[in-house]
Amino acid sequence: MISIIDYGAGNLQSVEKALRHIGCDCQITAGPAALLASEAAVLPGVGSFGDAMDQLRARGLEQPIHDFVDSGKPFLGICLGLQILFETSEESPGARGLGLLKGRIVRLPKESGLKIPHIGWNSLALKEGEPLFAGLPQEPYVYFVHSYYLRAQEDVVTATAEYGATIHAAVRKGNLMACQFHPEKSGRVGLQILRNFAAMLEKGE
């Protein structure tokens, strides 16, 4: 069972639909006990950094997420679900993220002249040998929707994209994985990424 964490800030139905399309047993849950009993978890997200953290804490999910990651079971953050794994964001000064990884979220530079938010398809430069990207073509295209991006401080970056800056588009530290883009909106490439994630349950990774 894969739990999709509901904290009032997620694009839950599209993630659930994509997982069911590839044959996964999944559930949407806001319950800490149900989360901890799951074999894997997905943390989606649409909205602001500070509001998301307020909702997680209000629902008593902050410590259970830490406990789940510490258990070694596969965990995938998507979009805002990547950003709140880190410490701080320019979007919400003073707000504290989950702090599971070291880094900060900064606004895409207006000086680039590119449209903000970054909406649409963009290619990835992938780190070789990453299990989440097995079977993908070189420089695959995925779908982004965001105005802020990650600057990681750890050696966790597994994919980058270019959009007025070098975006740290995906990360992994052991069983903890996340992507700034939306695999559930990224066609065949995104479904392959979700299949790779689901395969980690079977392998016990």
Sorted by sequence, the CB contacts under 8 Å of residue 35 that are 6+ apart come out as 3, 5, 29, 41, 61, 64, 65, 68
Q: Give the residue extent of every domain in the chain.
A: 2-203
Per-residue pLDDT at 112: 82
- As its CATH architecture, domain 2-203 has 3-Layer(aba) Sandwich (3.40)
| CA separation for the pair 87, 95 (Å, rounded) | 9
- Return the SS3 of 22: coil
Q: Which helix (H) or strand (E) holds 171?
A: strand 166-173
Per-residue pLDDT at 203: 65
Per-residue pLDDT at 204: 55
Q: Which residue type sits at 182?
A: H
Catalytic residue numbers read 79, 182, 184
Specify burial of residue 95 (Cβ count, 10 A radius: 0-12, 13-18, 19+). Answer: middle
Per-residue pLDDT at 192: 98
pTM: 0.95
Summarize pLDDT for 149-198 with one digit per residue, the tens.
999 998 999 999 999 999 999 999 999 999 999 999 999 999 999 999 99
| CA separation for the pair 43, 62 (Å, rounded) | 12
Mean pLDDT by 10 residues, the chain (205 residues): 90 93 96 96 93 94 97 97 97 96 96 92 97 96 98 95 97 98 97 97 66
